Amino acid sequence: MRNPLLEPFDLAPFSKLKTAHFKPAFEAALDKARVEIDTITSNPEPPNFENTIAALDYAGYELERIASIFFNLNSAETNSEIQNLAQEISPMLAAFANDITLNEALFKRVQRVYETTDNTGLSEEEHMLLTKKYRNFQRNGALLSDSAKEELRAIDKSLSKLKLTFGEHVLAETQKFKLHLTDPADLSGLPESAREGARSLAEAEGLEGWLFTLDYPSYLPFMKYSTRRELRKKMAIAFGSRAFHKDTLDNREVLKEIASLRFQRARLLGYANHAEFVLEERMAKTPQAVQVFLQDLPEKALPAARREMEELKDYALNTDGVTTFEKWDSSFYSEKLKKETFDLEESELKPYFELNSVLEGMFRIAGDLFGLHFEKDPSIETYHEEVIGFRVRDVADNFTAIFYADFHPRPGKRAGAWMTSYKPQFRREGKNERPHISIVCNFTRPTQNTPSLLTFNEVTTLFHEFGHALHGMLADSTYPSLSGTSVYWDFVELPSQMMENWCYEPEALALFAKHYQTGEVIPEKLVERIRASANFLEGIATVRQLSFGMLDMAWHSGDPAAVSDVKAFETEAFGETRLLPEHPQTCMSTSFSHIFQGGYSAGYYSYKWAEVLDADAFSYFREKGIFNREVADKFKEYILSKGGTEDPMDLYIKFRGRKPDPQALLERAGLADTKS
C-alpha cells in the first residue's frame, strides 16, 4: 500500500490519507529521525554550532510533520480508531523525546558547544538556540543517573497516555449530553436563531422538536436567554459535571495521576514542584511571581466583582423574585441587565456579524496593518468539507502562508477554539519554508433560513485565534524551534489578545459589521453601546479568570499526592474568588483541558499576564492611530515575526520603547480607581 505520508509532500495530503497510513508512517519517520541523531553523535568533526546545534534543530522534521497532521486530526476530526491509535503513538513519541534528551553522547556534544563557543560570533537567534538546546537537555534529565533516567522515561510515557485519556473523556462527556425538547413552551425566551439551530440539530438526529447540546453555540444562548430556570439548571449541571460521574469517563483519578506525575518529574529533575519547573522558562520566572500577580489583581477586582454580583442578585430578586442566585442564573440575568443598562442585547447584534463578512473584514484589517492578502483556494486539500483553505501573500505578492479555517462544531471535534500548525516556518539551504497555519472554532452554524451569524463573543474569539495565526503566518526565523508561536507561554497570548481590540473600534467595525440582509453598516448607536458595555461586569470576569489561574497553580505548585477529594481541593483553591454557591454535582478540574490536556499547566495565569501586555501595546496604536503603519510595522517586526529568537521582554521594549505599564489594563477594565 502506497503511503502518502512517506512520499514527498508540502500540503498535507488529506484526500489520500487513511488511518492505517499513520502507524507505519510514524515508524518510518522515527527510524529516519534516529538516523539523523546518530549522524550528529557519530560525526568525527569537533562539535560546533552548525554540525550539532543547528543539525539537531532540523532533525526529525518529517516526524514533526506527520505528528502535526495526526494530532490535529485527533482534535478536530477524531474517531475511536484515531483515539486508540493516539494512545499507541503517544508513548512512542514520548520515548523518542527521551531518547534525545537522555542521549549522553549527544548531550556531551551540545555541552561542548555551549561551554566553548564564543557567543560574540553568534547572532542573537543562534545564541538563543544554543542556550535553549542546552537548557532543554539540562531540564529534561541529561544530568540524571541511569536509574533516574529510566524513572523519567516511565513518567513521560504515562503522562503521554493520561493526557490523551483526559481529553477523550471530556469530549465524550460533552457529546453524550443532549437536551431534547418537544414542547414549544420550553423555548420561552430563546431568540429565533437559537431555536433554528436547535431544530437543525434535532433534524440531523432524526428527532422531532429541538435539541440542545453542551457545544458552546448551543449551550451559551440557552443559558443567556431561556426563561425556563429548571432547564438552565439542568444544562449548567451537565456542563459543570463533565467527567465527574464516578463512571468510566470520570477524570478525577486521571487528573490526580497527571498532577502527581508532574510533581514527581519536577522533583526528579531537581525542582520543588511542577510550577517551578515550568516557570523557569516563562516571563514570570517563578511561582512566587505568579502568586503575587494573582493576588494583586484581585485586590483591585474583588470589590468591584462583589458589588456587581450584589447588583445582579438584587436585579434577579426584584425582577423575578429569585431569592437564591445560582450559577445558572448568572448569564441569564447578566444579559437582561445588560440590555436594560445599555439598551443592547446579543440577538440585536448578531445580524451584523455574518461569518463570511466578519472573515473578509478581518482579512482587510490584516491587509491594512500588515500588508497581507488572503485568497480562497479550493485546490488546497482539507480534512473536512467545511474547512476552507487560503493562500496568503504579502504586499509584494510573495507567498507567505497557507491558512486553514474550520468554524463549526461537529461530532469528533473537541470544544473551544484554537490555533495550530501543520508546517513551521524556517530557513534551510537558502530556502525560506513558509508555514501552514490553522484555526479551529466552534461557532454558530448556518440554518436553513440564515447564514452563520456570530455572537459578539464569537467575533472576538475569531479575532483572538487569528492573532495567534498571524504570529504563525508572519514568522521569519531561521530555526523551526524558535519560529512563530514557539515563544514563552506567557508571551504567546499577546498577539491573540491584541487583535481583539479592533473588534471595539468603529473604524474597524465599519469594515465587517454589516447587516446580512440589508448590507447596512452597524449603526453608530450600537457601536457606542458595544464600547460602553465593554467593561460590563468586568470585575466578575476578571475574578473568574484569576480564579482559574489560582486553581491551576494549586494543582501544580505543591505535592498533590495528599489530595483525596478533588472537589474539596478545588473549592479551597478558589477561596475568596468564589462569588456564587458551590454545588456538589459540579467540578471544574475534571474538564479543565487547558491544564490537564493542553499546554497551560502552571500557565493559565498567562491570559491575564498577556492582557497587561496587550492593553499597553494597543494604547500605542490608540496614540498613533489604530491603522498606523509605523506602529503596525514595529509590531510585525518585533512581536509577530521574531518568534522565540530573543527574550520576549527585550522584544516588547523594542516595540514599545519601554516595559509594559500594568496601569493600562486597569484603566481599560475600569478598575484603576476601585477601592476596597
Active site residue 465: yes
- pLDDT tens, residue by residue, 380-393: 999 999 999 999 99
pLDDT of residue 70: 98
Task: List, in order, residues 6 or more apart from 102 with CB less than 8 Å away.
Answer: 140, 141, 142, 144, 149, 152, 153
What is the average per-residue pLDDT within 113-138?
93
Question: Above 70 in pLDDT, residue 675?
Answer: no
- pLDDT tens, residue by residue, 544-558: 999 999 999 999 999
Closest CA to 652 of 594, 623, 612, 625: 612
> Which domains does the chain show, CATH number per domain?
4-143 (1.20.1050.40), 177-240 (no CATH), 252-345+538-604 (1.10.1370.10), 351-519+607-663 (1.10.1370.40)
- pLDDT tens, residue by residue, 92-104: 999 999 999 999 9
Q: How far is CA 355 from the centre of its chain?
A: 21
Q: How confident is the model at residue 182 (pLDDT cuts 50, 70, 90)?
A: very high
pLDDT of residue 676: 37
What is the average per-residue pLDDT within 82-92?
97
pTM exceeds 0.95 for this model: no
- pLDDT tens, residue by residue, 531-546: 999 899 999 999 999 9
- At 405, phi and psi to the nearest 5? -130, 125
Question: Above 50 in pLDDT, residue 376?
Answer: yes
Q: Can you spell out the DSSP letters for 139-194?
A: HTTTTS-HHHHHHHHHHHHHHHHHHHHHHHHHHHHHHH--EEE--GGGGTT--HHH
pLDDT of residue 423: 98
Q: Hey, is 26 helix, strand or coil? A: helix
- pLDDT tens, residue by residue, 423-475: 999 999 999 999 999 999 999 999 888 999 999 999 999 999 999 999 999 99
Closest CA to 403 of 417, 384, 415, 419: 419
**Rounded alpha-carbon distances, angstroms, from residue 320 to 87, 289, 315, 333:** 50, 44, 8, 10
User: Is residue 670 left, alpha or beta, with left meaning phi > 0 and alpha meaning psi from -120 to 50?
Assistant: left
Burial of 208 (0-12, 13-18, 19+ CB in 10 A): exposed
Distance CA 547, CA 187 (A): 33
Q: Where are the alpha helices (DSSP H) in 474-537?
A: 493-500, 506-509, 524-532
- Dihedral sign, CA of 121, 124, 130, 134? positive
- Dihedral sign, CA of 474, 476, 482, 483? positive
Tally of CB atoms within 10 A around 8: 6
What is the residue-averaged pLDDT of the chain?
95
Q: Hey, is 564 helix, strand or coil? A: coil
The active-site residue, picked from 465, 493, 570, 611, is 465
pLDDT of residue 547: 95
